[in-house]
Amino acid sequence: MKKKTLIIVAACVGIWAVGWAVTPVLKKHDDNFPDAFNDHVLHERIKTFPAARNAPEVGDGEGLFVLPDWVPKDATDVTVKVETDGNAKLIRFTLADTPLKLSGAEGCHEGAFSDGPTLDADWWPQDVGDGAGRPECSEMYQFRVAVKGEQVYAWSNGDLART
């Protein structure tokens, strides 16, 4: 009986260890997993929109995917990855005719963005992280925004802006 219990415990520990080791890899490449798996196992979800004007508005029932006001409505190829059990967010989009207008660091907490994004994705460039881009704190959460050509990458780790 003790041998059977030991085998069961060892199997559970082994499954836990494999899950712990594999989860970061899954989180980086979770674009094509079902929403239920992403929501309940990885606690993240990704949505894409052909243009920013196609993203949900406040009150649409998809509050996690509402874009900040500083994202131009004519921005295209919008991808948003959110933390379903927190407030971290990655946003990527392509600029169109409307220029990006950021208000800057006014309203940011002292010491904000001492780290890179807590979320990761295979479409997120490795060189956009700690120290990259400019702070944007005009809304509820602090964002860091980096522009690479016509591509814009923005992230928030869920830190509230001081408003």
What integer pLDDT is reported at residue 109 of this predicted model?
73
Q: Where are the beta strands (DSSP E) in the chain?
A: 44-51, 76-83, 89-94, 134-136, 143-148, 151-156
Mean pLDDT value of segment 115-129: 85
- Give residue 146's pLDDT: 92
- Find how far residue 73's CA is from the centre of its chain: 20
More confident residue, 89 or 7: 89
In 3-state terms the chain splits into helix, strand, coil percentages (rounded to 5) of 25, 25, 50
Q: What is the pTM of this model?
A: 0.75
- Which residues does 51 contact at the CB level (< 8 Å), separation at least 6? 73, 74, 75, 76, 78
CB 94 within 8 A of CB 101: no
What is the rounded distance in angstroms from the CA atom of residue 63 to the CA atom of residue 86?
12
In tens, the pLDDT along 63-104 reads 889 999 999 999 999 999 999 888 899 999 999 999 999 888
Coil, helix or strand at residue 148? strand
Residue 145: pLDDT band with limits 50, 70, 90: very high
